[in-house]
Chains A and B, each alone.
Chain A
Amino acid sequence: MSYLTLSLTLIFVLIPLILSRTLKLGLEKDTLIATVRSIIQLLAVGYILQYVFEADNLIFILLMILLMIGAATQNARKKGAAIQGITWKLFVTFVFIEGITQSILLGLNIVPPTPQYIIPISGMVIGNSMVLGILFLNRFTAEIENHEDETELILSLGGTPKQAIHNQLITSIKASTIPTIESQKTIGLVQLPGMMSGQIIAGADPVQAVQFQLLILFILLTTAVVTSIMLGFLSYPTLFNKRMQFLK
């Protein structure tokens, strides 16, 4: 796609701008900011990726992954501000997920050990893990707040902190992972996944595109479940002190 052709796609930005102005929706400023930011961010990433791919250097790959994990941590931590040490808990979770995924993919030779594979897959894994982390933290903090009485009831009857928070933890883990599992049930029927569509548009064999998409979907299942469980089990102990008292 040439830059001239790309510039024509701005028509799709003009449509919402015109509608917003006509109907006085007040979305013009945000739409423009979003458009400019996406152009700058994606172009910058494109050039950085081009450089990293050409350099084919492990240090650059690791730096890219670290950058992704750093950004994901920064983004998700606001949702878990109520939980002590949430920044490092998120960081450790993302590093663990990335480590386990790449170990399986590269260790079993499922994908070649090149930046063209490692970086995009890392982006999907860390990005998905971040979204799951945010969903989990949102739900978990709400569950803690709404079920404070139940938590203290169990503690007061001689239960452990783990027993006191068990229901809230399980509910939050389930609630945050269900969308991933449910969306996979209808995938291909309602919508074609973005990565697969991109490959097909770029001229790849549809069956091969499906194979890669399946790989990603399965990875995302692990990402979803492991992120929620790991964050949950790292988070709940900090809600209590050594005397098993609930820290409100």
Chain B
Amino acid sequence: MLMQNVERPLVEFIHVNYSAGGTHILKDINGTFPEGKITTLVGPSGAGKSTLFRLCNGLSSPDSGEILIKGKSIKEYEPIELRRKVGIALQSATMIKGTVLDNLELPLTLQGKKIDLVEAGDLLHDVGLDKGFLHRNAKDLSGGQKQKLSIARTLVNKPKVLLLDEITSSLDRVSQHDIEELIVKINEKYGTTMIWITHNLDQATQIGHYTWVMMNGEVIETIESSLLQGSKDERVQAFIRGEVE
């Protein structure tokens, strides 16, 4: 059952296909991510969720079909412009060598600019990190702190879309809850459109406005998150029951 979004679509997938190494990873993906909303993306491992993110951010290109951001094909964006508009935070929360400040400032360093220290402190505060962390070595942070810093770093580019790939999967329950609150806060404060891959169905339904369910490279359901449990699709129900890994 495909939802009819009343909201304005910010990201649109139109008949998108993607293959790598002889494997058809994404099969005829169609759908929209509404502007200013949180869409959660769930599905078993290998469903193609992370690949879908790589296509949005321009780290890979589809074999066929179109991806539109604000109604404009991603092919028409310069890669750098696209990647600043569509930020991505990964589960690995990779840090470069150096301090928290070095990492936070990275998007600006790449443009030959410096971050304002007050702004840096405010950003850290926004993601729930103490301003005193700025001069700490990034490698000394905990997993949850790295995730928060990774999100703050992506926000430095002021993205229109924020892609979050399994950012809570390796965190303890308290850190997971912090990140959930943070996602809602960013969405409300900055109006950022968010697409969040999570393996946690409770997170997906409680935090998301909409949910996509993917399986074997296909989108099998796009639905309001609160209605996911009542989906009529047998495959979705099997996934909810944990029968599909």
CA–CA, A23 and B84, complex, Å: 65
- Contact partners of B4 in chain A: CB under 8 A: none
* B88 proximal to A (CB < 8 A): yes
Pair B59/A246 contact, Cβ less than 8 Å: yes
Closest residue to B89 on the A side, CB-wise?
Answer: A156
Interface stretch (choices A98-106, A145-153, A217-225, A228-236) = A145-153
Pair A152/B59 contact, Cβ less than 8 Å: yes
Pair A243/B58 contact, Cβ less than 8 Å: yes
Pair B110/A153 contact, Cβ less than 8 Å: no
Given A163-B110, A245-B59, A246-B59; A158-B96 close (CB under 8 Å): no
Pair B94/A157 contact, Cβ less than 8 Å: no
Pair A157/B59 contact, Cβ less than 8 Å: no
The 0/1 profile, CB within 8 Å of A marked 1, for residues 145-188 of chain B is 00000000110010000000000000000000000000000000
- Contact partners of B6 in chain A: CB under 8 A: none
* B61 proximal to A (CB < 8 A): yes
Partner of A157, one of B60, B81, B83: B83
- Contact partners of A153 in chain B: CB under 8 A: 90, 94, 96
Closest residue to A149 on the B side, CB-wise?
Answer: B94
Closest residue to A163 on the B side, CB-wise?
Answer: B110
Pair B110/A245 contact, Cβ less than 8 Å: no
Minimum C-beta distance from A162 to chain B (A)? 10
Pair B88/A243 contact, Cβ less than 8 Å: no
CA–CA, A246 and B59, complex, Å: 7
Minimum C-beta distance from B112 to chain A (A)? 10
Pair A245/B60 contact, Cβ less than 8 Å: yes
Pair B59/A155 contact, Cβ less than 8 Å: yes
Pair B92/A157 contact, Cβ less than 8 Å: no
* A216 proximal to B (CB < 8 A): no
* A154 proximal to B (CB < 8 A): yes
* A195 proximal to B (CB < 8 A): no
- Contact partners of B80 in chain A: CB under 8 A: 158-160, 244
Pair B153/A156 contact, Cβ less than 8 Å: no
The 0/1 profile, CB within 8 Å of B marked 1, for residues 48-90 of chain A is 0000000000000000000000000000000000000000000
CA–CA, A109 and B157, complex, Å: 57
- Contact partners of B81 in chain A: CB under 8 A: 158
Partner of A149, one of B84, B92, B106: B92
Closest residue to A164 on the B side, CB-wise?
Answer: B110
CA–CA, A167 and B94, complex, Å: 15
| 7 new A-B contacts at CB < 8 Å, known A157-B154, A245-B59 | A149-B92, A156-B59, A157-B84, A158-B80, A158-B110, A158-B157, A245-B61
A contact residues vs B (CB 8 Å cutoff): 149-150, 152-160, 163, 167, 243-246
Q: Which 10 A-B pairs have the closest CB atoms?
A: A244-B79, A159-B110, A149-B94, A158-B84, A158-B83, A153-B94, A157-B107, A158-B80, A156-B88, A243-B79
